[in-house]
Every structure is written in C-alpha cells, then in structure tokens.
C-alpha cells in the first residue's frame, strides 16, 4: 500500500511520518505539490500512483479567514474536492482532516458525528463545505474532525503552536490573558497520527471524531502548561468578548468519539497526560539539537 502524505512538513504531517511505513510513504511538502493547482495535483498522482492519500494541509488562521474568504475556500473547500476527484480517478482512499469549528458550541455536551453542524466562522464553514464535497465525490474516504492540535513539528517552526506561544510569552515576562469561557480538548498530534494509521487499516470509511480524551478551557490548558513545565507566568483569565478576536469561536468544542467506540478503538490518552509527554519529548528534542 503506497501512501502519499500531503503536508509532510507540518505538525501533524511530521508525526504521521514517524508512524507510517517509511518504505511505502511518499512525503510531499508545499514545494512538491500545490493542492489548489489541478495540474500540480494531477502530476503528483500520475507520478506516485498512491493507494491512500493523507491531506493535512489547510488554511487554518481562523481570524485571517474572516477577511480572506476567497483564499480560505480555495484551500479548504475547492482544493479538497480536487483531491477527492483525483483519488476517485486513481482508485485511492482519501484521509482528510476537519475541525471542531463546524459546530456552534451550543450543545454543552460532547458532540457526536451525527450531530448537526452549525459553524460560526468562515473557517468552520469552509471546512464543513470541504467535508460535504469529499463525501459527495468519493465513497472511500476518512473524514476526521479534531481539536486544538499541537505537536513537536511546531515547537521550532515559525507558526508554532499554543504551547510554544505560552512558553514564549512567559519567557518574555508578559502578562498573559487567555480565554476561560471556551471549552476544548487539546490534542497531541503524535496521538492523533497513531490513531489515524490504525483507522486506515480498518477500511471502515466515513466521518470520525478523534481528539485526546477529556476537556478543559484554554485558560486551564495554559495553566497546565506552566505547571507541568515548572514555569512561572503572570497568567490571567479573560472572556471571548473581552479578547475580541475577529472570528467567533464555539464556546464548547468537545468531540465524543462515538464511531471509534463502535470499533473498539477509543483508547486515546487524556489531554493532560499527553501534554506531559509532549513537554518531555520537546525537552529531549531541544537537548539533542546542536547549538552554534
């Protein structure tokens, strides 16, 4: 089984590379494929003839999506449909990632895969539209909604992740204000990558929710980062209204893994245990990196 991994240089992509069979995996970065260009997509499929395509790319700067609607839908919706069409042409399975932002957060209990989506933002709407186009185009697909991703691939990248942002701000001695009225499940990309590789082998196609287990507010997540790191920080809670981000976020984004449960595969670690592991692995990775 040949796997074509699109977005291999990102947080999730780099963790997928660690668990996918190296001999059968073709890692592609933006330099190798431009998913918004049909010719680039066709060339990649003709060259590699994949059996499975994993797409980890997205335009996910949620606030920027509000003012860059055309680009958002080009990447998150229409390009995804193009990948699904190419997979259909070449007989490949598509694995594509979506988001908790497809929900409004009004339910106040964990969302299951059959709950009706109602996105509040351009980003969430574009991702939901991408889901619909994949499902309408290709029967053999895995659509995976997840939440609050962080991974080692972001620990030294320009984009970073929430954990790295918190640690950087603490090192600068700044007062850090984090919203305490949005409930999420922070998810370590290493855990997600492992579950995705397991799921692919089942051939049980369809829509899945996959996150770490448990939940917290963003403020509680930030506090856990500092506590587990032994870092002193001037951390203060705030509200979504006071924070004033351009894009509306769901106030409750917890996803229940109902379909994983039905397969007997819902053994994802609790979020704070994974955070502890991430911080330990991060420290090891930094210690092993030579300094000039």
* Token pair belonging to 99: 């988001």
What's the confidence (pLDDT) of residue 98? 98
What's the confidence (pLDDT) of residue 262? 96
What's the confidence (pLDDT) of residue 292? 54
What's the confidence (pLDDT) of residue 24? 94
3-state per-residue secondary structure call for 15-39: HHHHHCCHHHEEEECCCCCCCCCHH
Residues of the chain with pLDDT under 50: 157
Residue 283, CA atoms < 13 Å, CB-side half-sphere: 9
Residue with tokens 């066709």, as numbered in its chain: 42
Distance CA 212, CA 110 (A): 13
What's the confidence (pLDDT) of residue 160? 79
What's the confidence (pLDDT) of residue 290? 63
Distance CA 16, CA 5 (A): 8
What's the confidence (pLDDT) of residue 149? 96
Residue with tokens 């668990």, as numbered in its chain: 19
User: How does pLDDT run across 183-217, given as a tens digit for each residue?
Assistant: 999 999 999 999 999 999 999 999 999 999 999 99
What is the pTM assigned to this prediction?
0.94
CA-wise closest residue to 73 among 118, 39, 123, 135: 123
What's the confidence (pLDDT) of residue 186? 97
List the catalytic residue out of 123, 150, 188, 252.
Answer: 123
User: How does pLDDT run across 86-115, given as a tens digit for each residue?
Assistant: 999 999 999 999 999 999 999 989 999 999
Active site residue 123: yes
């Amino acid at each position: 089984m040949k796997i074509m991994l699109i977005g291999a240089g990102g947080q999730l992509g780099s963790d997928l590379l660690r668990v996918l069979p190296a001999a059968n995996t073709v890692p592609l970065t933006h330099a190798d494929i431009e998913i918004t260009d049909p010719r680039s997509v066709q060339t990649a499929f003709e060259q590699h003839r994949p059996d499975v395509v994993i797409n980890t790319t997205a335009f996910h700067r949620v606030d920027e999506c509000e003012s860059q609607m055309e680009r958002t839908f080009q990447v998150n919706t229409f390009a995804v449909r193009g990948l699904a069409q190419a997979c259909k042409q070449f007989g490949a399975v598509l694995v594509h990632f979506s988001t908790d932002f497809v929900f409004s957060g009004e339910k106040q209990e964990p969302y299951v895969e059959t709950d009706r989506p109602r996105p509040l933002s351009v980003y969430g709407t574009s991702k939901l539209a991408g889901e619909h186009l994949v499902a309408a185009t290709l029967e053999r697909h895995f659509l995976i909604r997840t939440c609050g991703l962080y991974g080692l691939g972001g620990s030294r990248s320009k984009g970073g992740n929430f954990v790295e942002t918190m640690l950087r701000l603490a090192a600068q001695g700044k007062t850090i204000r984090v919203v305490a009225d949005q409930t999420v499940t922070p998810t370590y990309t290493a855990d997600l990558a492992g579950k995705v590789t397991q799921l692919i082998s089942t051939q049980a196609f369809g829509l899945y929710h996959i996150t770490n287990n448990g939940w917290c507010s963003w403020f509680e997540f930030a506090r856990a980062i500092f506590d587990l790191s032994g870092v002193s920080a001037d951390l203060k809670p705030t509200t979504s209204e006071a924070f004033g981000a351009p894009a509306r976020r769901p106030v409750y984004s917890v996803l229940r893994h109902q379909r994983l449960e039905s397969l007997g595969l819902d053994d994802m670690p609790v979020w704070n245990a994974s955070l502890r592991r991430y911080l330990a692995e991060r420290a090891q990775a930094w210690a092993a990196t030579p300094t000039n």
